[in-house]
Structure 1
Amino acid sequence: MATLLDVNGLNKYFSGRRKMFGKSASVHVTRNVSFTLDGGETLGIVGETGAGKSTVGRQVLRLIEPDSGSVRFHGDEVLSMKAPALRSFRQRAQMIFQDPFSSLDPHLTIRDAVAEPLTIHRKMSRDERDERVLDVLQRVGLRQDQLQKYPKEFSGGQLQRIAIARALITDPDFIVCDEPVAALDVSIQAQVLNLLVDLQNERGMSYLFISHDLSLVRFLAHRVAVMYKGEIVELATSDEIFENPQHPYTKSLISAIPQLRRRNSSRQVDAMSDESDSEPVLGEDLVADKEFSC
């Protein structure tokens, strides 16, 4: 497949985080981060809290400006884009945040929140926007009668579906998923992950999937990048990372998760409905001896 994203040598410093001899010192948050992402591929980024995972995702989308490095999207340099080109890039590259409630304006109805990117990026009539919003919301499992409700009226799983709908509304090629299921219970996690897989299969989208949970990354990612203290210390296919890790830090991460076994190659997790309080059934292809945790 053709390369969609080419990231080379990303560096980011933050100052004032600690003091050395009474003076503020710069902290290297990301150090020489490089990777590629193909069309229709998922690259998982894993590591402990503070490893720089989320900072990488935000730098790729220019939500945080890198201090140095290169980000090429379809061959175009993102970091040098001016307003018109950057606006076009933001239609094609979106982000799903960890906390869906904080990423949605509590004063906007779901209809207006999901339609907002269309209002900014597309010239469409109100009827056309409403039709597009309804289509996307139904695709993620919500109903027409929920369009005029506010974020506080939805469960965590429903809010994450709304956040996914908002990311999908402009038909992106690429989505950064920053801990998109970390705040959800296990059964809802499975539903959201299945939705991401289905959408990738249908639309050929690429994901940068950031997570501390290696069990989820193994299920979703084609390749995995392991970050430690701002650097990528190992990058390989998912099977290579989990079956034959090379770096000592990767080995320590793998040893901390429950033993997993696959039954077939289908990337699908069985899940209960939103209303169910029982544990999910994960037996079709991904079986954990314990509850997913890291």
Structure 2
Amino acid sequence: MLSTLAAILERGSFAAAAQQVGCTPSAVSLQVKQLEVWFGQPLFDRSARIVKPTSLALEAGVVAREMIARLDALRARPAMAVAGRVRLGAIASVQSDALPQALRRLRDLHPALDIEVSPIVDSDPLLGALKAAQIDLAVLVRPQGGGSSRLIWQNLARQPYVMLVPAVVTAGTPQELLRRFDLIRYDPALTGGRLAAQYVRQAFPQARSIMDLRSIDAIVAMVSAGLGVSIVPQPRRALLRAHGVQELRLARNAPTRQIAMVRRNADAGSRNLDAVARALAEVYA
């Protein structure tokens, strides 16, 4: 609640604060009401269109920021050993590709480190969960603009987009194949899916999509069954071999996506997070 109060005072509105702390505006309003009950006084003047902080809110904000800074410093203090809990989030394709190998390395090297994997599997919600301190480290698609400078980013791998085609296909350019086959789209609601959709609109306006799927594994299975072709970030080789799906390279202007790790600035010196980051980087290397 104190973090939320500090965010409102810094950003100037409940809506802007909600984006910073990673929750809904209604949740911000509820936290403010709870703080006002605790203080026994209003913290904001709501009589005008724009809420204005009271003198109590401004004074409480100073104390809150000092307390938050001190608590963040305690959280960031390096431990002597790699032990304890790390809450890790990763997009679905990472969970089925690099993450199992990284977790095996961590279990062998740091048996006292407990990794809790979040059920969130999309980049945007993962970034929100990280900002809201619901997870400690995220592996996701880095925003095209580079991502917030208030976070620590570490690039892991750049993945090219490719066309997946059934094994029975013997020849053809991407344009020819999209005239012969329907398109199975990587869901445009996802960060990686939006890149694929933009490329298809520009390069293959004649493409006819028949379904949107969020799982690359599911897309590979559909292509293997001969239901269509797809344009996705390059899947792992073992998955393509298992389903007998072919990978076709696209033109030089085809998109790529950057897989990156991200953590909060307050966790810059964490031995636990450094250990997880090293394991992931070694797997991708």
Task: Give the TM-score normalised by the residue count of structure 1.
Answer: 0.24
Q: Between Structure 1 and Structure 2, which shows a larger proportion of helix residues?
A: 2
